[in-house]
Amino acid sequence: MCGNAYGCEEIVLRADQTLKEAMQLFIRYEINEIPVIDHQRRKIGRLTCKTLLKALADKWDDDATIESLWNAQKTAVEHTEGQPIDVPLESHASVSKLIAKVQRLKLELQEAQSMAETMKTVLDSAYEGIVVVDAQGIIREINKAYCQFLGIHREDAIGKHVTEVIENTRLHICIESGIPERGFIQKIFDQPMVVHRIPIWREGNVIGAIGMLIFQGVSEVYQIFQRVQELSRQASQKEKNVKRAASPKKQTSSLDSLVGRSAAIAKIKQMVRRAARVPFTVLITGESGTGKEVLARAIHQSSPYADGTFVSVNCAAIPESLLEAELFGYEEGAFTGAKKGGKLGKFQLAHKGTLFLDEIGDMPLYMQAKILRVLEEKKVERVGGVAEIELDVRIIAATNKNLEEMVRKGQFREDLFYRLNIIRIHIPALRERKMDIPYLLAYYMERVCEQFGLKQKEFTKEAMQALMDYSWPGNIRELVNVVEWLVGMVDGQKIEKEHLPSHLLSSALLMKNGREMEERKKIIEQTDAHWRDIVDYDERERIKQALIEEKGNKAAAARKLGMHRSTLYEKLKKYNL
């Protein structure tokens, strides 16, 4: 006699077989249970269809073994030899229905996970800061923009009460009242911000709230209001003159002049907000033309010294013989040619304000000692004078030189370096934050055109790509120069690639080709022109170029290179990219 209705060969499963293999047997033979045997072909139990379907519905992996399922669900499968699960048997028709239902549930789960990932991407891509709290005011989600603004990591905020993370928040009050608060002003880091607070209702109860940081500051709302006004009225010459007079104020207004959306700029803005709150000395470093004075003015405008004067001194532009008199002032008759009545120095002019010492690395050693004394004693003595004058001055210094190297070589006083280097902010070169280039071009195009009463020009995609590829050795100063040249030399409203200065295009191409040729030459010399090294080098360069063109997006770069994303990750690791 046969043991089943499908032939004399008994259908069995080994304990080390997978759930996927078990499912295939259930579907093929339309049975409700299958005996399970060990490696010696002894029966150790039975697996029912219902137990298998429940495991798959509970998100068990298809490749999991029957033995692992038994170990994890001892209440569902007993290891008693020859005893099946005490579960009512399913009919053949109900088995097919259950299988179809499980497959449908798995598909719906995949779609839900895909939608959740999409929503997370949307949140992190949003320019506005967004935070979601539950009914108890606990943060359940916060996007990248809000984290960058607050200067925190997402994992440090999730699970905490909103009042512990966001200054002056009212989200917890919004949950209690159930009343939305739109367009409210909230001070964060002493900056007035525009926010929305929206309660989340479900079945008549408030289950949480959404907080939205709509703009980076009230000044941005004012700028939008100005644009609406400009679109609704006819521009007269008198109005253009008013705008022209107002434009310098825009340039120096708090953080508005720090243009960009890169992580580096977000970090710098965060440091500016913090540095502005305390009177400590700030040292700004960066290449020439990166905007060190703009950053210094932003700190001044955001600080308690904003009502005072911002005095800028270029230490490299003043002759050594006159530097002391310029900084400390002089009394009448202090030296031949001295102004009658004497003259106030830059330190006195900056009293109750900010003194910006640009190119501090070019200051002579003897002046460094005098500056150190002023910083420590908060007093200054004029050239030719005997009385000391007390000062209340915020000091911000800047340099494009390596002060640590200068200290080691004895070219800069170590004690002055430590006195200046209390709060240090480094501005990266423009070539290191290329994603800010489009924002800078748009910002300065608007400013220049507004200043001269001209209609704004637009960049084509090809022109913008060429500007992104350029290395900008002169940084933002060079970028502004290029924008002014384009405004004056291009007749139409569209700026094409061929309109760009020839030196910009040729320099970018020469630099790119030169680097490639030099690196190729080094590789060939070091490896005796071994063909494998050359192939690897070419592949490495193609990957680098694809990553640059796709702005670091690895998935897009992999598609461009025609390889799987996992293959790209292996090559990135191989070439240490």
CA nearest to 478, candidates 426, 425, 440: 440
Return the pLDDT at 516: 52
For position 366, what pLDDT does the model report? 87
Domain stops at, among 474, 492, 507: 507
In a domain, 230, yes or no: no
What pLDDT score was predicted for residue 532?
56
- Residues 514-529 have pLDDT tens digits of 455 555 555 445 544 4
Report pLDDT for 475: 92
Its domain, for residue 352, covers 254-428
Residue 422: inside a domain? yes
Helix or strand run (H / E) with residue 197 = strand 191-202
Which CATH number is 495's domain given?
A: 1.10.8.60
- Answer yes or no: is 528 within a domain: no
Mean pLDDT within 238-258: 53
176/136 Cα distance (integer angstroms): 9
- The answer as to whether 576 is a domain residue is no
Q: Are residues 424 and 363 in the same domain?
A: yes
pLDDT reading at 202 higher than 60: yes
Position with higher pLDDT, 256 vs 353? 353
Please write down the HEC assignment for all residues of 20-84: HHHHHHHHHHCCCEEEEECCCCCEEEEEEHHHHHHHHHCCCCCCCEHHHHHHHCCCCCCCCCCCC
Model pLDDT, residue 231: 58
State residue 293's pLDDT score: 92
Q: Are residues 423 and 435 in the same domain?
A: no
Residue 382 lies in a domain: yes
Give the integer Cα–Cα distance in Å for 95 and 376: 85
Whole-angstrom Cα distance, residue 154 to residue 171? 18
My answer on whether 90 and 37 are in the same domain is yes
Question: What share of the chain in percent tops pLDDT 70?
Answer: 77
Same domain membership, residue 19 and residue 100: yes
Instruction: Determine what percent of the chain is predicted with pLDDT higher than 90.
Output: 21
Identify the pLDDT of residue 339.
65
Q: What is the CATH number of the domain that holds 385?
A: 3.40.50.300
Q: What is the pLDDT of residues 140-163, one digit of tens each?
A: 989 888 888 888 898 999 999 999
Question: For residue 274, is it within any domain?
Answer: yes
CATH number, domain with residue 215: 3.30.450.20
CB 541 within 8 A of CB 523: no
Q: What is the pLDDT of residues 124-135, one digit of tens each?
A: 666 578 899 999
The pLDDT value recorded for residue 73 is 58
Task: Identify the weakest region by mean pLDDT among 367-371, 509-513, 559-563.
Answer: 509-513
Q: Are residues 265 and 358 in the same domain?
A: yes
- How many C-beta neighbours within 10 Å does residue 550 have? 16
Q: Which two tokens stand for residue 134?
A: 């539950």
Note the pLDDT of residue 79: 41
pLDDT of residue 236: 53
Separation between Cα atoms, residue 553 and residue 51, nearest integer Å: 44
- Give the model's confidence band at 419: pLDDT under 50 very low, under 70 low, under 90 confident, else very high: very high
141 and 269: one domain?
Answer: no
User: What pLDDT is stored for residue 166 in this prediction?
Assistant: 92
The count of other CB atoms within 10 Å of the CB of residue 256 is: 19
* Mean pLDDT, residues 531-543 taken together: 68
Q: Are residues 300 and 403 in the same domain?
A: yes
C-alpha to C-alpha distances, 276 to 148, 292, 308, 396, nearest whole angstrom: 18, 15, 14, 11
Beta strands 354-358 and 394-399 are parallel
Rounded distance between C-alpha atoms, residue 231 and residue 228, angstroms? 5
CATH of the domain at 97: 3.90.1280.20
Last residue of a domain, one of 507, 526, 554: 507
Q: Which of 455, 487, 507 is the last residue of a domain?
A: 507
Report how far residue 549's alpha carbon sits from residue 565's, in angstroms, rounded to the nearest whole number.
16
- 324 and 421 together in one domain: yes
Residue 448 phi, psi dihedral angles, 5° rounding:
-65, -45
Same domain for 374 and 457, yes or no, is no
Please check the confidence at residue 545 and state whether its pLDDT lies above 60: yes
- Mean pLDDT rounded to a whole number for the chain: 78
Looking at the fold, whether 136 and 206 belong to one and the same domain comes out as yes
Selected residue with higher pLDDT from 542 and 436: 436
Same domain for 271 and 330? yes
Q: pTM score, two decimals?
A: 0.52
Whether 321 and 370 share a structural domain: yes
Q: Is 200 among the domain residues?
A: yes
pLDDT of residue 341: 63
How many structural domains comprise the chain? 4
Q: Is residue 544 part of a domain?
A: no
Tens of pLDDT along 87-118? 333 334 445 566 666 677 777 777 777 776 76
